[in-house]
Amino acid sequence: MTDFARDFKKRVFKRKIKIAIVGLGYVGLPLAVEFAKKGFFVLGIDLDKDRLAGLKAKKSYIGDVTCKDLAGVLNNGRLRPEGDFRALRKVDVVLICVPTPLKRRYHPDISFIKNAVKAIAGNIKPGALVILESTTYPGTTEEIILPLIEARGLKHGRDFYLCFSPERIDPGNARYPLAKIPKVIGGINQEASALAFEVYRSIIKKVILVSSSRVAETVKLLENTFRIVNIGLVDEMAMMAHKMNINIWEVIGAARTKPFGFMPFYPGPGVGGHCIPKDPLYLYWKAKQHGFRSRFIKLASDIISSMPGYIVQRLEQTLKKQHKTLKGSRILVIGVTYKKDIKDLRKSPSLDMIEILQSMNVKVAYSDPLVPYLNLNKINLKSESLKQRNLGRFDCLVIATDHSGIDYRFLLKNSRLILDTRNVLEGITNKKLVRL
């Protein structure tokens, strides 16, 4: 260990280093609050004026961060929101937590990363550690970020250190909060990894070092590819089981009794959120650059993307058996968030389903206790009441997202027809109930 690394370790232990987090979204803000709660001074940088205004008012816009915790670290001065990158000149560690969306044809959009890195490179403190947490394709840290910073005349290992550490936050998961999720780190060299190890182990129970940033980048993509492939498989199995008049939910329930060699995944109207719908496609895109076509990833993505349309088809078939047409019916979609009890609409398949129904001129409404208003295709929608007298207005209810607090048995009792895509009414046999 070098003298610099030994001194850095001591300063981490004594909470003398200053940390900056660029991007105060669902990854960055929980990190910022966690570091601040552990006694570090944290500079939170974000260019979104609404976010900065919310932080100034001590109002959390992220479900995993309570207003009480946020106010605590703001009041004691441990967290300081900022919209100017020049404030980085006095910090020792910079964590990048910015979005990485997809362009058309599966091309990763790393413009947010590039812009953040350029701003950081122009304001970096000598000897600072830079860590990318934003999910991206293998090689980004070494091939894109490293040259961008060194283009300013800085030398890695002398003027700065660079690592990749994939975010693994699962919004709303109380069992595995940030501090309990093991952290993977891959640096440009061993010293960079060692510095990042000291930083993260001050807030996270288990930290794992891997041999390179490329390995760390691929770890995250493998995790999400594992999920998208298995969800795509079980979605296809659900469609096949329906054709064969087999209850897929009963099949999964019985299969999961095997104590080895099987992990249950469940079908549904699709997947949402920041990670699963797009992260595996970074790997698909990067593999193509190396002359390799990842058929599993593309096929799974295509199957999952087709699920909202498939649900609409099932809805149309279900209504036809009731001697009704889809276009002449009133449909209520229950749940529009992508995940149970999380106020997050990113890539929500429920929205795709509603948009498909709107495009068919179907009279569609929604109900979600977490989302009072929606605007889709310039159409303003208001969350419908689930009271008895209101339910009778609709020809069919589609359960798209499960939410605690909703009495589904009440819905079944007081509705004309229900299409349950989540099996929330498990074990119930009723003429009014149709399962995916």
Looking at domain 3-211, its CATH superfamily turns out to be NAD(P)-binding Rossmann-like Domain (3.40.50.720)
Residues 237-256 pLDDT 10s: 999 999 999 999 999 999 99
pLDDT confidence of residue 377: 82
Residue 80: count of CB within 10 angstroms of its CB: 18
Residues 45-101 pLDDT 10s: 999 999 999 999 999 999 899 999 999 999 999 999 999 999 999 999 999 999 998
End-to-end CA distance of the chain: 58
**In angstroms, rounded to a whole number, what is the distance separating the alpha carbons of residues 396 and 405?**
20
Among 97, 163, 275, 396, the active-site one is: 275
**In angstroms, rounded to a whole number, what is the distance separating the alpha carbons of residues 336 and 302?**
21
Residues 204-214 pLDDT 10s: 999 999 999 99
Residue 106: is its pLDDT beyond 90?
Answer: no
pLDDT confidence of residue 2: 85
pLDDT confidence of residue 379: 85
Residue 113: is its pLDDT beyond 90?
Answer: yes
pLDDT confidence of residue 240: 97
Residue 273: is its pLDDT beyond 90?
Answer: no
Residue 87: count of CB within 10 angstroms of its CB: 16
Closest residue by Cα to residue 22 from 91, 76, 103, 107:
91
pLDDT confidence of residue 171: 86
Residue 275 falls in the annotated catalytic set: yes
Q: Per-residue confidence at 348, pLDDT binned at 50, 70, 90?
A: very high
- 3-211 with 231-435: one CATH topology? yes
Identify whether the C-beta of residue 368 lies closer than 8 Å to the C-beta of residue 303: no
Q: What is the CATH number of domain 231-435?
A: 3.40.50.720
Q: Helix or strand or coil: residue 185?
A: strand
**In angstroms, rounded to a whole number, what is the distance separating the alpha carbons of residues 310 and 270?**
10
Q: Are strands 160-164 and 128-132 parallel, antiparallel or unpaired?
A: parallel
Burial of 167-186, coded b for 16+ CB within 10 Å and e otherwise, reads: bbbbbeeeeeebeebebbbb
Q: State the chain's mean pLDDT as an integer.
A: 94
Residue 74: count of CB within 10 angstroms of its CB: 19
Domain boundaries, the chain: 3-211, 231-435
